[in-house]
Structure 1
Amino acid sequence: MTPDELLTTTRSVRRRLDLDRPVPRELIEECLTIALQAPSGSNRQSWQWLVITDPEQRAAVGAVYKRACDAYLESEGAAGKLFAEDPERSAVQQRVHRSVAYLGDRMGQVPALLIPCLQVTSGKLSDGNQAGLWGSLLPAAWSYMLAARSRGLGTAWTTLHLTYESEVAEILGLPANVFQAALIPTAYYTGDSFKPAPREPLSSVLHYDRW
């Protein structure tokens, strides 16, 4: 794939994750090695990466995720309830809603779950601006997802489990100064094609010099 193709066709994969095919540990580590080339503030590299492949651990995290996902799907902000006044866009949102529900029921069955984390030396997150802090982790997580896509793996970015972050931290034995950023299910995908997703035109979100 060309860089442009990779960047425009890396989709959130939920319904087409292969739940039966194991993902080799060395393949995940290869993707993470690439991810570690991403920038971080002051080159601190304070990221930590937890890969969950043990069936019991996956099931435990999956159960928490399902609880959070069910609550989200019932909320007013759920994907399927957005843009109801626009039939075309609403149809897209309904598909997203169904795919979120599908993954919510099966998260614990995905062969590998990746949780990118930040280790904070002070032991707590700042009450002020945290953009730089999380900005030192999220590019690396996205690099992981791109590397996975280029190797035939599907991923999805979700943070729903963070509603119960402390419960998941206890399941995983995380120290008190380690904070989770996301949950990224990782599996081979079924099917053989991805295409750019429909997006609002650039002109609707672009500003020059001032709003």
Structure 2
Amino acid sequence: MALQAPTGSNAQTWHWIIVTDVEKRQAIARLYARSFARYRASGSRTYADPTRQAVQQRVSSSADYLAEHMGEVPVLVIGAIFTGAEEFEPGSQAGLWGSLLPAAWSLQLALRARGLGSAWTTLHLAYEREIAELLGIPSTVRQGVLLPVAYTVGTDFRAAHRAPLDDVLHINAW
């Protein structure tokens, strides 16, 4: 399903690294946990809206759980993209990631439709080079997302809480 997503110039330069090896998953989990610890130590945002604050507390709790149990997740999927060089032009960022990220989202939707859950995370990127070395990813391929994948506890999926449309929609001007 990920391969059916739109891609800039139809280049299809994405790559998918599926990690099921226990030792490799645990090594990635240790690096992720280090990155997560720094992220958590930076503090959490508080919201005036009590509903939004409650949602964020649940999200934080879920993120804590994932950081503690990442190594137990049966499948880690790393979405990556061929850049053609170790460094790339800043102006190419939107087209580059605009080819990978819709594909990762398509994969997440397909997983959900099949009773599997996933979580979008990029905290592993603080250790992108170490993970690339662990998995043999060439220096001309950059990682963009880490999707831990597992069967869910239930299938009671519902729409996520989002800001009201009037707060984020601008027509013809800001």
- Counterparts of 1:69-108 in structure 2, within 5 Å, are 69-76=36-43, 81-108=44-71
After superposition, give the CA deviation of every residue in 1:12-38 in whole Å (9 maximum; x if it has no partner). Answer: xxxxxxxxxxxxxxxxxxxxxx11011
- Of 33, 46, 52, the match for 2:19: 52
For residue 152 of structure 1, what is the amino acid of its counterpart? Answer: G
- For structure 2, the 5+ residue unaligned runs are none
Q: How big is each residue's C-alpha offset from its partner over 1:38-93, in whole Å with a ceiling of 9 and x where there is no partner?
A: 111111000011000010110110110011111111113xxxx2234333321211
Contact 1:73 1:97 in 2 (8 A): no
CA distance in 2, matches of 1:202, 1:127: 31
Write the distance in 2 (CA, Å) between the matches of 1:84 and 1:142: 27
How big is each residue's C-alpha offset from its partner over 1:101-140, in whole Å with a ceiling of 9 and x where there is no partner? Answer: 1000111110000000011223422233410110011111
More helix by share: 2
1:149-188 pair list within 5 angstroms: 149-188=112-151
Structural mapping, 1:6-155, within 5 Å: 34-76=1-43, 81-155=44-118
Q: Which letter does structure 1 place at the counterpart of 2:89?
A: S
Amino acid at match of 1:115: I
Normalized per residue, the structure richer in strand is: 2
Q: Is the partner of 2:107 in helix, strand or coil?
A: helix
TM-score scaled to structure 1, two decimals? 0.79
Instruction: Tell me how large the CA RMSD over aligned residues is.
Output: 1.2
Number of aligned residue pairs: give it.
174
Q: Which runs of 5+ in 1 are unaligned?
A: 1-33
Whole-angstrom CA distance in 1 between matches of 2:33 and 2:86: 29
Q: Distance in 2 between the 1:150 and 1:192 partners?
A: 10
Amino acid at match of 1:140: A
Distance 1:195 1:188 in 2: 16
Q: Secondary structure at the match of 2:99?
A: coil
Q: CA deviation at 1:143?
A: 0.3
One-letter amino acid matched to 2:40: L
Output the amino acid matched with 1:36.
L
* Distance in 2 separating the partners of 1:50 and 1:158: 15
